[in-house]
Amino acid sequence: MKTSIKLIFFIFIGLAIAQTDVDDQLKGNRKQLNHVQDQINSLRKEIAKTDIKASSTFEQIKILDKEIALLTKSTRLLTNETQLLSKKINITRDQLQVNRRKLRALKDQYLNRVVHLYKYGKIQNIDLLLDAGSINQALVRYKYLKFFNDQEKLVIQKINYRVENIQILENQLSLDYQNQRQALQNKERQHTKSLTRKNEKKVFVERLKWNSQNLSKQLKSAEEEYQKLYEIIVALERQRRLKERRGETKEEYTLNLKDIKKNKGKLPWPVKGKILHKYGKQHNSRLKTTINNTGIDIKAKAGAEIRAVFIGLVSTITYLSGFGNTVILDHGKGYYTVYSHLDDFFVEPDELVDAGQVIGLVGDSGSLEGSKLHFAVFANQKTENPQVWLR
């Protein structure tokens, strides 16, 4: 019996800790979700103030692309919320089971006491005091009887506590089910909006192909966005070196990262596909202009898995209009790999990922050429030809 009570106690404590952990994750996820929704609302206000019809096709695509990225992120967070709520629901069910088991045990305990009193009657308690051989013995017996009366009161209090606790848990379970249904409905709405915006984008991209003026803007924007990406890499490297000097580098980061330089020319491809644009200067015959490609563009099927080419730390997940959804991995000692135009991603900032781990899916965010992956390698704040690194 004692072993069973101890087991129930440890199960109860374990469930309480698990629920606290899930609650914290839900709060963090909800905070991110609210932030993304604020960004969506701000973008829609910006759109309302802008004369979209008078805007260039390229500007319209940029706005749509940004909204698609936010809707995708919102959908991912809502998916995460439904999964966390499922965990919480399961934990609450287990807590209810434990509480009902405890309540049943308490009721049995109290019932046994009531049966005992019914059989022998309280008169036995008076006889026990009267039959005492001395006043001291009577006092001892009185304390003994009072202890059992106090125990009865304590059992009743425990029964009431369990009943109240079960009611609270049942209410919480009902609320969690309601929140889960709401999250699923919101997820479906966001997904539908995202598909609508993607179809609108396709129409605008078709128009853009035949407009030289818009194509020129596209090339200029790509150069501006590269500068933003470069500034992000510079800031990340500065932060990494500062942490290293201060001894604030995470232990798992120090212990697990390997020397990427020794693997030059041996890294796996991040995705299977055909190279659309090589690294370096690329000539556009139609516009008679040359741009500098900071990485390689790999044409791949939408939804294809993108894998990390080497073990690294997720240092940044961001959106840049020329690159779309972008994940940057830090491989230590000034080396970074960049994965852009993602439709979705499956990693979180500060997460340590293994070589070959899926970090996202191929998409066309920030792309005017359909689904593709822009893959770049930075070494000491300068780009290098990714093909030299890949096997």
Q: Are 72 and 170 in contact (CB under 8 A)?
A: no
Backbone angles phi, psi at 306, to 5 degrees: -105, 130
Q: Are 342 and 362 in contact (CB under 8 A)?
A: yes
Backbone angles phi, psi at 154, to 5 degrees: -65, -40
Q: Burial level of 383, CB count in 10 A (0-12/13-18/19+)?
A: buried
DSSP helix/strand/coil, 355: coil
Domain boundaries, the chain: 2-208, 213-389
CA nearest neighbour of 104 among 228, 112, 66, 191? 112
In order along its 391 residues, the chain shows pLDDT tens digits of 445 555 555 555 666 777 888 888 889 989 989 988 888 888 888 777 666 555 667 777 888 888 888 888 899 899 999 999 998 898 888 888 888 888 888 888 777 766 665 565 554 555 554 565 566 665 655 565 555 566 667 777 787 888 888 888 888 889 999 999 999 999 999 889 888 888 888 887 777 665 555 556 666 667 778 888 999 999 999 998 888 888 887 766 665 677 888 999 999 999 999 998 899 887 666 555 667 788 999 999 999 999 999 999 999 999 888 888 999 999 988 999 999 999 888 898 889 999 999 999 999 888 878 899 999 999 988 999 999 999 8
Query: Which residues are CB-neighbours of 252 under 8 A, at least 6 positions away?
Result: 352
Q: What CATH number matches the domain at 213-389, 3.40.50.300, 1.10.274.10, 2.130.10.10, 2.70.70.10? A: 2.70.70.10
Q: Rounded to whole angstroms, how far apart are CA atoms 239 and 107?
A: 61
CA 273 to chain centre: 29
The length of the chain, given as a count of residues: 391
The helix (H) or strand (E) run that includes residue 162 is helix 135-208
Q: What is the DSSP string of 233-260?
A: HHHHHHHHHHHHHHT-S-HHHHHH---G
